[in-house]
Amino acid sequence: MELVIEGLVKDFDSVRVLEDISFSITNGEILAVVGPNGSGKSTLIKGITLIHEPSAGSITLDGTEVRKLDPIDLATKIGYVPQNFSYTLYSTVFETVLLGRRRYIKWSVSDEELSRVQQSLDALEMGDMAGKYMDQLSGGERQKVFIARALAQNPALYLFDEPTSALDIRYQIEVMETMRRITWQQDSAMIIAVHDLNLAYRYADSVLVLSHGRMFGYGKPEDVLTPECISNVYGVDSFVVKNEFGKFIMPFRVKNSDVKG
């Protein structure tokens, strides 16, 4: 699988939200998209899934322009987890995950689909929660259910819009570890919009920094996520800590404020 994006542009009612975005990603890779609120992270991800069709530019998946693909084929190739998800009280966890298999279900559900659902739930260690109703879960558990739904879709490319935003620190690490494992095991790629720069730093193979809809930086995390870049994009002073566990970014104050670091 190789996704290549060239010169992607998105306008909403003559307001340019994304301008000239180009990058590529292949199997086994995780690309983190970072940037301040409103910088276009969600729009970029929705653009790739064609939920908001781009105004210009090309998105090619294995050499095929995705806009020329049948939406049904596209559904088997790209799995998407939105930032805000809706659900009904009367659905159980496994019914929600089962929707990921929508493309393979005509009317009744085969054993194979059910075992896929079980695998997806097991991958996120939620196997024993299958029978619970969605409203009986915590916010973090619900988010994991939606990630499991994307896993059940078994696509080559995953797109996650802030998958860890509702999770506590333990879940955040668990989910990111799981995603890292999945990209290697399933030989798939992942694009993750994320606010936590340290998660991007640790788990991503490459980072795309967006600022006001433009690419501010693109490359390996340690090359891109520098204090200068963070200062320019977020207007925040930060420093990098190195120890035996790795490198960490410590944002500590709004630029030019006189808070002692």
Residues that bind other proteins (CB under 8 A): 46, 49-51, 70-76, 78-82, 84-92, 94-96, 98-100, 102-103, 105, 107, 109, 111, 114-115, 117-118, 121, 127-128, 130-131, 133, 135, 146, 149, 153
Task: For the CB of residue 79, give the shortest distance to other proteins in the complex, in Å.
Answer: 7
Task: For the CB of residue 95, give the shortest distance to other proteins in the complex, in Å.
Answer: 6
Degrees to nearest 5, angle at CA 34 with 153 and 49? 30
Among 117, 136, 137, 139, smallest CA distance to 127 is for: 117
> What is the separation, in whole angstroms, between the first and last Cα of the chain?
44
Contact, 152 vs 116, CB < 8 A? yes
Q: How far is CA 98 from CA 117, 130, 153, in A?
A: 6, 10, 9
- Our CB check for other proteins shows the closer of 94 and 201 to be 94
**Pair of tokens at residue 152:** 């059940």
- Our CB check for other proteins shows the closer of 69 and 236 to be 69
Task: For the CB of residue 127, give the shortest distance to other proteins in the complex, in Å.
Answer: 6
Q: Which residues on adjacent β-strands are paired with residue 137?
A: none
Can you tell me the distance from the alpha carbon of 185 to that of 93, in angstroms, rounded to the nearest whole number? 24
Task: For the CB of residue 198, give the shortest distance to other proteins in the complex, in Å.
Answer: 27
- Our CB check for other proteins shows the closer of 57 and 82 to be 82
> Which residue matches tokens 């200062």?
231
- Our CB check for other proteins shows the closer of 134 and 176 to be 134
- Our CB check for other proteins shows the closer of 70 and 228 to be 70
Task: For the CB of residue 213, give the shortest distance to other proteins in the complex, in Å.
Answer: 20
Q: Which residues on adjacent β-strands are paired with residue 157?
A: 78, 189
